[in-house]
């Protein structure tokens, strides 16, 4: 039996003679500051038959990087993911290295859902024995280690390094480039990193140039960027007809609806 995620994509492709695969990027923060830039950065990552759009949560003055605010906003992220499936999207990318609401969204959707951490971490583990993550600031280290522990790959991490960025630095591309290079070089030279993972989806677009600068200085290591890894991974899943296991993530989906309303579950 053909799985729904593949059937949806193939049916649209057949009906239009080559329709686009559709991936929606959800920026899980209460701001629209990053939305247009994320779309511009993501478009070069798409195959010719892939259409990407980007949405964000409703703007709010709260700190967009606060882990606690993300926790409170998980239901809003899930609502955006559910709407993406209703809009005919083939997959959802939650654009944050912290993977907020990924598990909850998988429990509600049939289409694939990933965040920034898992595709990037697994990609790095495929190409290197040990790798370092360069992220925004050290306050995020504990959450990142928890994600790695859950995935069973914490021992692969050579080190975690932070740029110690503050809000005024986010738009300073030269500062980010210089700091990424400095921390990546230290991770390679001092921590034994064999690859570098950029630990923020806001670093989209920096990976290739950083890898070239590192190689020019005698440090030829892969640089993995989470948006590129996530979008690439989702395209692979959709084309392969693979989505998350309903056994693993069915509790909040069909099982819950069946108990609450059997008629609704049959029609899902």
pLDDT above 70 (res 155): yes
CA atoms within 13 Å, Cβ hemisphere of 250: 10
What topology is assigned to 4-115+228-267 in CATH?
Rossmann fold (3.40.50)
Domain boundaries, the chain: 4-115+228-267, 117-227
Query: In sequence order, what DSSP letters do the residues of 26-86 get, joined into one string?
Result: EE-SS-STTHHHHHHHHGGGS-TTEEEEEEEPPP-SS-TT-HHHHHHTHHHHHHHHHHHHH
Confidence class of residue 268 from pLDDT cuts 50, 70 and 90? Answer: very low
pLDDT above 60 (res 258): no
**Which candidate, 92, 93, 95, places its Cα nearest to that of 27?**
95
pLDDT at 41: 86
For the record, the structure tokens of 224 come out as 């993995």
Q: pTM, whole model, 2 decimals? A: 0.86
Cα dihedral sign for 257, 259, 264, 268?
A: positive
Q: Tell me whether the CATH fold assigned to 4-115+228-267 matches the one assigned to 117-227.
A: yes
Confidence class of residue 9 from pLDDT cuts 50, 70 and 90? Answer: low
Architecture of domain 117-227: 3-Layer(aba) Sandwich (3.40)
Cα dihedral 106, 122, 5, 51, rounded to 10, equals 100
Separation CA 141–CA 242 (nearest Å): 31
């Amino acid at each position: 039996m053909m799985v729904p995620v593949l059937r949806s994509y193939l049916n649209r492709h057949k009906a239009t003679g080559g329709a686009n695969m559709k991936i929606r990027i959800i920026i899980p923060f209460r701001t629209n500051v990053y939305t247009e830039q994320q779309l511009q950065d993501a478009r070069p990552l798409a195959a010719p038959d892939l259409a990407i759009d980007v949405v964000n949560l409703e703007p709010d003055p709260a700190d967009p990087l606060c882990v606690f605010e993300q926790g409170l906003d998980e239901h809003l992220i899930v609502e955006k993911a559910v709407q993406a499936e209703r809009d005919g999207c083939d997959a959802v990318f939650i654009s944050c290295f912290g993977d907020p609401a990924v598990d909850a969204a998988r429990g509600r959707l049939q289409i694939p859902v990933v965040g920034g951490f898992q595709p990037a971490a697994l990609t790095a583990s495929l190409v290197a024995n040990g790798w370092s993550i360069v992220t925004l600031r050290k306050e995020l280290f504990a959450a990142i280690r928890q994600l790695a522990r859950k995935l069973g790959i914490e021992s692969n991490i050579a080190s975690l390094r932070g740029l110690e960025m503050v809000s005024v630095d986010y738009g300073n591309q030269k500062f980010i480039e210089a700091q990424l290079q400095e921390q990546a070089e230290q991770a390679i030279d001092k921590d034994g990193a064999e690859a570098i993972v950029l630990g923020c989806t806001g670093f989209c677009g920096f990976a290739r140039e950083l890898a070239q600068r590192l190689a020019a200085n005698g440090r030829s290591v892969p640089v993995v960027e989470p948006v590129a890894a996530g979008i690439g991974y989702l395209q692979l899943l959709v084309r392969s007809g693979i989505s998350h296991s309903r056994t693993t993530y069915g509790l909040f989906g069909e099982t819950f609806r069946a108990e609450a309303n059997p008629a609704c579950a049959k029609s899902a």
